[in-house]
Amino acid sequence: MAHFLFNVVERDAAKGPGLREQAAEFLRVRMWGVDADERHGKALATGDLALIYLGAREWGFIGRVELASAVHDWTPSEAEVYPGDSPSGVLLAQVEEWDPPVPINAVLSQIDRSEGARADFEAGVVRITAQEYEIALAVAAGRAPRGETWSQGARATPWTLA
């Protein structure tokens, strides 16, 4: 199992809804677009975990997901449902949204930044370490109300994968 950031950058939202609204749509349909030339796209596999990150002016984590598939071209039925314009991507098995978002600075303050962790990057998929992933979860859990699920409108703590 590998760990990633799925980054929504301003260029993705330039012609439509804002960053958060766009990400929420992807999470709602349990699909995340990944272009064929994405640097870490071929590394994505079923069971991998990813944090959902809003770059640009937002700079915060809004949730986490478990992948239900590797990157593939959307089937005709998937393409019909997918709200973005990427011709390929991954399906999501589990989705958890965080509201309010977890600020990147709260996470970065807990990470050894000598490895290059930072707030801004252009890549849509960024590989992170298991430790960086766990630190982000710990920061988020410190702010999460216990026992509620995303379907109830709040973060779930702990995240239970079914």
Sole residue written with tokens 């930072």: 118
| Residue 18 CA to its chain's centroid (Å) | 16
pLDDT at 72 over 80: yes
Evaluate the CA torsion angle 39, 115, 48, 4 in order and state its sign. Answer: negative
- What are the sequence ranges of the domains in the chain? 3-152
First to last CA, the chain: 16
What is the model's pLDDT at position 8? 83
pLDDT at 157 over 50: no
Per-residue pLDDT reduced to its tens digit, 80-128 = 999 998 999 999 999 999 988 888 878 876 765 545 554 556 678 989 8
pLDDT at 6 over 80: yes
What is the model's pLDDT at position 100? 87
Q: Tell me the two tokens of residue 141.
A: 């859990």
pLDDT at 146 over 90: no
Q: How far apart are CA 105 and CA 59, in angstroms?
A: 8
What is the model's pLDDT at position 108? 75
Q: Which of 22, 43, 17 is nearest to 32 (CA)?
A: 22
Evaluate the CA torsion angle 3, 40, 105, 24 in order and state its sign. Answer: negative
Task: Give the residue with greater pLDDT, 18 vs 154.
Answer: 18
CATH code of the domain made up of 3-152: 3.10.590.10
C-alpha angle 155-159-162 in degrees, rounded to nearest 5: 125
Q: How far apart are CA 125 and CA 111, in angstroms?
A: 19
What is the model's pLDDT at position 107? 81
